[in-house]
Amino acid sequence: MSILSSLRYCLSDPGHTTNLWLAFAFMPFGLFFDFFDGKVARWRKKSSLMGQELDSLADLVTFGVATAAAGFAIGLRTNVDQIFLSYYVLCGLTRLARFNVTVAMLPKDKSGKSKYFEGTPIPFACLTTSSIMATFTFLGLIHESLPLGTWFAGSVLEFHPIAVLFFINGCLMVSRTLQITGENFILDTTKDMGFKHVSCVAKARRWDESGT
């Protein structure tokens, strides 16, 4: 529904933002259902490989494609902008695929849950990006009024600097040095040639294992 709302907005008067707000509003519903489908599965003590794959596909569409569609709707429409949007979706796909492949091999705690996951969860990337876009929409900073304007206008490299937000979130999702635990973000970066090992820990919201 979020994707279709973005498409309806693109076909309507840009001054009428009702469909755009609907596109933003449907995203938290996706997070709600993504959180509780895992809870219900554990409560019923039932799971299947098909369910796991469908969950990842739903996450990709809900938090990846829908977010990119909203970005396109607010004005990120140049060729370079679209490359950033596509990169974000592909990083989300990579993050979800890696989760499915590695979850069985990651160290577990006493309850059987993985102690950490690599990269930020795609729901986190979606909510941060969509929140910023919703703020821009509320302030009327969309289309020609996007913050930081347009760079290299009129050339093949024309793009909106705000589109880099999608690139950054994409990189965070596929990062192997960013480890997400139940209660922390842990960034481990070890340089070659005996350089110093750096660990940075910051409190963050607990993300359910069943999501991503």
How many CB atoms within 10 Å of residue 69? 21
Per-residue pLDDT of the chain (212 residues; tens, 9 = 90+): 899 999 999 999 999 999 999 999 999 888 887 777 666 666 666 667 776 778 888 899 999 999 999 999 999 999 999 999 999 999 999 999 888 887 767 666 665 566 677 889 999 999 999 999 999 999 999 999 999 999 999 999 999 999 999 999 999 999 988 877 754 444 444 333 333 333 333 333 344 444 44
Domain residue spans in the chain? 2-203
49 closest CA partner among 2, 109, 100: 100
What are the strands of the beta sheet with 184-190, ordered from one edge? 117-118, 178-180, 184-190, 197-203
